[in-house]
Amino acid sequence: MTAPAAGQERTTMAVGYDGSDAAKDAVRWAAGYAAAGGHRLRVVHAWVWPMFTKKLGPVEGVEGSGLRHAAEAILAEGIELARTALDAARSAAAPADAEPAPAGPAAETGPAVEGLMETGLPAPVLRGAARDAVLLVVSSRGLGSVLGHLAGSVCLALAGSSPCPLMVIRRVRSPGEPAAPVVVGVDGSSRSSAALAAAARLAGFLGTDLRIVHIDQTRGGAREGHGRHGPLHGQELLDHTLEEARNLAPHLSISVDLREGHAASKELLAAASDAEALVIGTHNRTGGPGNTVTAVLNKARCNVLITR
């Protein structure tokens, strides 16, 4: 996939799929978000077997066998699941007296679905597939059932190197279950402005409240000058961010939460203990996700959106 040219708007979402139950949840979530935003949805399957063997074709005399056929079947299943979920999301959003929208990939309304199967390990395949994407969605487990023991590493690798925001799905709501708040961590930097905007969009999609959290590290015991903000600036920062959020999404119910502590990840996790999703920004120049993002991904019980 090629990245969009400068000034060209991204209109496609990408979601990883390997056939696992966790990946099915990720596809369903991605389909709902794509339907709400009018995005195209790209279902991506990383095919690892060609890296280990050349025996990819069918077993002689056994119809429908072979590693290539199995991989193609997994991708086809993911595409069909996405189309079904998209149709359901469009139907749920349509007025009761509206004409039903045409179903399937030929529908003239709503986003389309496409499939992509690439040879390689999950992280680089998904990274390449998301170069022109507005959002990459993955499950928190099983990003490659063959390499399941590396799933954590894959998720962390994407957190530090994804070319677009990364949504890690840990749970999906049951039908009729109300959404819990979206929590976003801010520190006054440019990356937290991007996180705030993404959190506002996510809260609007979910139809839930937005909670803005700032960790005042100086007041929590960090040495003087270590944090970006002094002890008197924490509430001022939140007040400014609250005004920014209200300008972005005047329809949302928004609250703020000022916390103290030098362990940002610990405080963010505590603030998001009842959240539907936690939104944080990353800016680590080494290419890794950074300590805070790593800790959040390892311990968060909710979905996590990582912006950049």
Q: Got the DSSP string for 244-302?
A: HHHHH-TTS-EEEEEEE-S-HHHHHHHHTTT-SEEEEE---TTSS--HHHHHHHHH-SS
Topology adopted by domain 12-169: Rossmann fold (3.40.50)
CA–CA distances in Å: residue 157 to residues 48, 108, 189, 276: 17, 37, 23, 23
Nearest of 137, 4, 154 to residue 82 by alpha carbon: 137
The pLDDT of residue 254: 98
Highest mean pLDDT among 6-10, 62-66, 285-289, 291-295: 291-295
Nearest of 50, 85, 305 to residue 201 by alpha carbon: 305
Would you list the domain boundaries of the chain?
Answer: 12-169, 182-307
Residues listed for the chain: 308
Distance from C-alpha of 28 to C-alpha of 78, rounded to nearest angstrom: 10
As a whole number, mean pLDDT of residues 220-229 equals: 45
**pLDDT band at 40, cuts 50/70/90?**
very high
Q: pTM of this prediction? A: 0.84
Distance from C-alpha of 282 to C-alpha of 159, rounded to nearest angstrom: 8
Distance from C-alpha of 32 to C-alpha of 25, rounded to nearest angstrom: 11
Q: Which CATH number fits the domain 182-307, given the four candidates 3.40.50.620, 3.30.70.1350, 3.55.50.30, 3.40.50.150?
A: 3.40.50.620
As a whole number, mean pLDDT of residues 122-127 equals: 96
Report residue 21: phi and psi, to 5°.
-60, -40
**pLDDT band at 101, cuts 50/70/90?**
very low
**pLDDT band at 146, cuts 50/70/90?**
very low
R_g of the chain computed on alpha carbons: 21
The pLDDT of residue 102: 43
| CATH fold match for the domains 12-169 and 182-307 | yes
Distance from C-alpha of 217 to C-alpha of 225, rounded to nearest angstrom: 10
Of 7-11, 113-117, 165-169, give the lowest mean pLDDT range.
7-11
As a whole number, mean pLDDT of residues 200-215 equals: 96
Cβ burial of 96 (10 Å; 0-12, 13-18, 19+) is exposed
Q: With pLDDT > 90 as the criterion, what percentage of the chain qualifies?
A: 56
* Residue whose token pair is 């022109």: 132
Q: Pairing state of beta strands 166-169 and 303-307?
A: antiparallel
As a whole number, mean pLDDT of residues 64-83 equals: 86
The residue type of 251 is: H
Output 62 or 254, whichever has higher pLDDT: 254
**pLDDT band at 173, cuts 50/70/90?**
confident
The residue type of 239 is: D
As a whole number, mean pLDDT of residues 159-164 equals: 92
